[in-house]
Amino acid sequence: MKTLHTIILIILMIGGCSWNPDRDNPVDPQSRFYEAPPQKNRPPEIRNLKVLTDCRSSYEDDFCAMDIVCQISDPDRNIRYDTVAAFMDSTNYLGKLAFSPDISGFILRRTDNDFSSQDIRVFNGHNVSVFVMDDSGAVAWATTTFHIELRPTYPEVLHPATFEDTVWTRYPRLVWRPWNGAVDTFTYSVDVLYQNIIPVWSARGLSSVDTAVVVIRQLEYSNVSAQTYYAWYVTTVDTVGNRLTSIPGTFQIFIQSIPPIAKRQEETEVE
């Protein structure tokens, strides 16, 4: 009997032997029936939340706006964009943020006119929060504090400032007073608008030591009968993005001759 077993073992060793059972266990990673456990949902993330201010000086009441901006991401890529909303002090609803490709993030603007106080400065020192939810119900919150200057120092245009400042060139030189505001690090921006409505030229990121810039786009001569004109603004922008904008300067452009305003003054003197 022992000899028979030895013979069978020798035959099996010579012929080879293997066993490959069907891998049908659903918890076996190598099985075709394997079912991976569902990934644990990861909540969305809110980053770089800021509340920026954009204030403009005027001859009457100044006008201010707050821009609530942030970036939102979700490792599972299932953000519900319709849930991104901002709150003041966690309970007072401010509105929904919209995605803006310009900043690669979300933004909500609220102005003085959106509040019964007609002045967003009353919220200085209050908390602003942003909320978001994903498809699975996971949520995220982020909070920051709103700060705004109560009595800001606005930049000021020098020349041209009014229609009486004659401009002879279609490439005018715009001059402003050096700004002595609350921050040391800032840049200037300059905007020129036709009829104070249509943007025609702008300059960004001008140094804090600059006090003038030349418009490098050829502007059109003013139409005397239609009384067309240009308005220009100088704005300070701090390192965070808060903005303060001057009262506009206005000007008309004439060919080198006596401008209509001077002619009218001469006619008045003669009379």
Number of domains in the chain: 2
What digits encode the pLDDT tens for the residues 106-142? 999 999 999 988 999 999 999 999 999 998 889 999 9
Q: Across the strands, what pairs with 199? A: 193
Non-local (6+) Cβ contacts of 141 within 8 A are 46, 129, 130, 131
Q: Are residues 103 and 182 in the same domain?
A: no
Burial of 246: CB neighbours in 10 Å, binned 0-12, 13-18, 19+: buried
Instruction: Give the closest residue to 142 by CA, choosing from 48, 42, 75.
Output: 48
My answer on whether 118 and 180 are in the same domain is no
Final residue of a structural domain among 80, 111, 145: 145
DSSP 102-119: TTTEEEEEEEGGGSTTS-
Per-residue pLDDT tens digits for 187-241:
999 999 999 999 999 999 999 999 999 999 999 988 877 888 999 999 999 999 9
Is the domain of 133 the same as that of 171?
A: no
CA distances from 227 to 163, 181, 195, 221, 244 (A): 11, 36, 9, 11, 29
Print the domain residue range for 204: 156-260
CATH of the domain at 71: 2.60.40
User: CATH number of the domain that 231 lies in?
Assistant: 2.60.40.10
Any domain includes 5: no
